[in-house]
Amino acid sequence: MEKLKTLQQAITYFANPDNCLRYMVAVRWPDGKISCPTCGSEKVSYLAKQRRWKCYSKHPRPQFSVKVGTIFEDSSLGLDKWMMAIWQIANCKNGISSCELARNIGVTQKSAWHMLQRIRLAMRVGSFEKLGGQVEVDETFIGGKARNMHRGDRARKIHGTGGSGKVAVMGLLERHGQVRTMVVPNVRRKSLHGEVSKHVEAGSTVYSDAFRSYDRLEDEYIHNVINHAERYVNGHIHTNGIENFWALLKRGLGGTYISVEPFHLFRYLDEQSFRFNNRKLTDSERFSIVAKQIIGRRLTYSELTGKSESFQP
């Protein structure tokens, strides 16, 4: 693929179906050996008119396209629309709404929403490697502001103060490194300590605010605390990095997506974490990373809406 630097260049390049196919073939089979996604056999032939391959092994699905075994599977939309959707969600700093994407690529809002959720799945990165060195930890609540709610909704959803009626989210930021985010059931000590132990190496330096749920982190870590009632920075002791991430996240949720159901919140966290962790890369590089992560992942509409028992958040 030629070096693409701008959205305009990407639109022009992927408008050609042959360019889309060549790009996806290079992503799926970088060694050039095309294999059947069903049985793994390399005894396949290319059907040029259909832009599909035929496997000569005996099984129920001998023909396959480049979409099979990816987040694109069973989608009737062309690869040109998928490529543009990936480019935009990977590179728009505050995200792109399903309504805007639908207008940009010419699909329905429902289709655009399903596309974005599939691409967010490709953005999700799991790692068994723990964060280390200097790590900032913090929690926040995601949800609508009580003053902006209708009186009936406010009475139904808000039954207390602070995070009442909202979803608790925790973030861990390795300074000069990556951020990890997760939805947590509550902000009690057991929940927050469990996530820190899971993601941060013992003996690392951990920075937090004076929230009491972070007490006793010093049993496993070098724990430095900044009291925001007094100041926000004390030398190298602060949580400004993770606070900056929360600002970016909430700007996207409030300004672009307007409303996010708690059921899907973890997907939006994955999206923002991906862009933040790859913020120093070019648009083309971010696009390529997402494109390489579409393989072996699938999200049907029934799974997305919770109608399938196989759904795993």
CATH number of the domain that residue 198 is part of: 3.30.420.10
213 and 113 within one domain: no
189 and 151 within one domain: yes
Whether 40 is covered by a domain: the verdict is no
81 and 12 within one domain: yes
> Six-digit token pair at 159?
């039954």
Whether 81 is covered by a domain: the verdict is yes
What is the residue range of 117's domain? 7-32+67-125+293-304
What are the distances in angstroms from CA 5 to CA 1, 8, 95, 96, 281? 12, 9, 19, 19, 11
What is the C-alpha separation between 33 and 48, in angstroms, rounded?
17
Whether 181 is covered by a domain: the verdict is yes
217 and 120 within one domain: no
What is the C-alpha separation between 272 and 114, in angstroms, rounded?
18
Q: Assess contact for 250 and 272: CB atoms under 8 A.
A: no
Cross-strand bridge partners of residue 55? 44
User: Which one, of 196, 185, 194, lies nearest residue 136 by Cα?
Assistant: 196
Whether 87 is covered by a domain: the verdict is yes
121 and 139 within one domain: no
pLDDT of 119: 97
156 and 120 within one domain: no
Whether 54 is covered by a domain: the verdict is no
Cross-strand bridge partners of residue 295? 70
Whether 19 is covered by a domain: the verdict is yes
pLDDT tens, N- to C-terminus, the chain (313 residues):
558 899 999 999 999 999 999 999 999 999 999 999 999 999 999 999 999 999 999 999 899 999 999 999 999 999 999 999 999 999 999 999 999 999 999 999 999 999 999 999 999 988 789 999 999 999 999 976 655 556 666 566 655 555 667 899 999 999 999 999 999 999 999 999 999 999 999 999 999 999 999 999 999 999 999 999 999 999 999 999 999 999 999 999 989 998 888 999 999 999 999 999 999 999 999 999 999 999 999 899 898 888 765 544 4
What is the C-alpha separation between 80 and 61, in angstroms, rounded?
25
User: At 283, is the secondary structure helix, strand, or coil?
Assistant: helix
Whether 283 is covered by a domain: the verdict is no
Whether 267 is covered by a domain: the verdict is no
117 and 78 within one domain: yes
106 and 147 within one domain: no
Virtual torsion, Cα 14, 15, 21, 22, nearest 10 deg: -50
> Six-digit token pair at 34?
């095309």
> Six-digit token pair at 296?
């072996």
**Separation of CA 296 from chain center:** 16
What is the C-alpha separation between 264 and 190, in angstroms, rounded?
24
Q: How many domains does the chain have?
A: 2
121 and 138 within one domain: no
Virtual torsion, Cα 126, 129, 134, 135, nearest 10 deg: 30
Q: Assess contact for 174 and 132: CB atoms under 8 A.
A: yes
248 and 141 within one domain: yes
143 and 119 within one domain: no
114 and 222 within one domain: no
What is the C-alpha separation between 66 and 266, in angstroms, rounded?
28
Secondary structure element (H or E) that encloses residue 141, with its range: strand 134-142
Strands of the 134-142 sheet, one edge to the other: 179-183, 167-174, 134-142, 205-209, 222-226
